[in-house]
Amino acid sequence: MIFPVALLGAFILLPVTLGSEECHKNDTQLLKCHTDLQNERLEKYAKISKWQQDYSELLRQLMDEKDKYAELHSKQQEVDNLKALIHQQSEEIELLKDHIRELKEKSELATLTNKLSTDIDKFGEIVKAEGVLTNQQAHINNQTTPKTETIDFPDSCPRSQNETRVIREIKLPGSDPFKVLCYSNSNLGSRWMNVYAKEFISRKFNGTYEDFESGFGDINTYFEFFIGLNQLHRLTSGKPYEVLLLTNGNEKRCDNFVVGDRTEGYKVKTISNCTGDAWLAPKLGSKFSTFDRDEDGVPDHNVAKELGYGWWFDPDMSTLNVEFHYLIMFIRRRD
């Protein structure tokens, strides 16, 4: 009975022994499988790391492309803005061309207007001369008739007046009637016509050449008016006149005073036998100058613009900066 039991024990132990060896074999395989799996995982991890690096590189390239695109877009925007500016400037150039054409047309119109004014002046002189000849012929043809006084050129201001100021309306040959202010006092006498009256601060006297040519202001006021260059020319050219200038209580009087016409720049053609010390007295040959028509003869200066009023300026007045309370000019018939 011992043998079977031993044999049975042997059979029992044999599988155990055999099972233990198989188990060791399985552990080895399992370790190998684990090692293979780790190697496979490492390979996959390496691939994933490579993919991540490739992705990062692609992402960097995409960012670079994005920056380049943004830069190109900015440059394109600059080009578009430049095109818009060029288009705008082209439109402005066309507007300037139109403005230049308009100015040329106005300049041609002004030239024609000046020529027409000159022709009117000449026509007025012809009419005046014809009137004088007609009166002389009538006097010759009627020597047997009673002598009557013929006024071919009106005496603008009365020879004697009791009032300090008298307003009269006169009509010169070839012109419309206009009003004048006649002034008289015990010191100056009578028959003085006030033709220029400016206060120290005056906006009216900073007018254009055309303003001074036609005259401006209210004749009923003592200050702030000018008779007009055209009327002053007609008056002084028709009959002999003297001139009186008052500034800040000083006065200057000249026996002869003649102003030319528009073609001559309304220059002082005659002024002589002057006495007194009033400054700003017009000089012989000086032309009338305004801010928009510089006739003072002073290089690189516009005295009328700098001082703010129109006058017969000359080179000696280029540095004149004297404050005055008033500037008044009178003329008076000498016949």
Question: Is residue 312 within 8 Å of 283, Cβ to Cβ?
Answer: yes
DSSP secondary structure string for all residues of 140-200: HHTTTSPP----SS---S-S--SSSEEEEEE--TTS--EEEEEEEETTTEEEEEEEEEEES
Domains within the chain, CATH numbers bracketed: 165-333 (3.90.215.10)
Report the DSSP beta bridge partners of residue 256.
272
Within the chain, which residues score under 70 in pLDDT? 1-25, 84-85, 87-92, 94-155, 318-325
In angstroms, rounded to a whole number, what is the distance separating the alpha carbons of residues 133 and 209? 34
Which among 201, 232, 205, 230 is positioned nearest to 217, based on CA atoms? 205
Sorted by sequence, the CB contacts under 8 Å of residue 266 that are 6+ apart come out as 213, 229, 232, 233, 259, 260, 287, 288
Query: What was the pLDDT predicted at 97?
Result: 67
DSSP secondary structure string for all residues of 306-325: HHTS-B---GGGTT-----S
Exposure string of 160-170, with b = 16+ CB inside 10 Å and e = fewer, is ebeeeeeebeb
For the CA atoms of 284, 113, 238, 175, the dihedral, rounded to the nearest 10 degrees, stands at -150
Query: What was the pLDDT predicted at 193?
Result: 95
Helix axes 229-238, 2-141, angle to 10 degrees: 20
State the amino acid at position 32 in one-letter form: K
Query: What was the pLDDT predicted at 252?
Result: 93
Query: What was the pLDDT predicted at 215?
Result: 95
In angstroms, rounded to a whole number, what is the distance separating the alpha carbons of residues 311 and 290? 7
Query: What was the pLDDT predicted at 138?
Result: 38
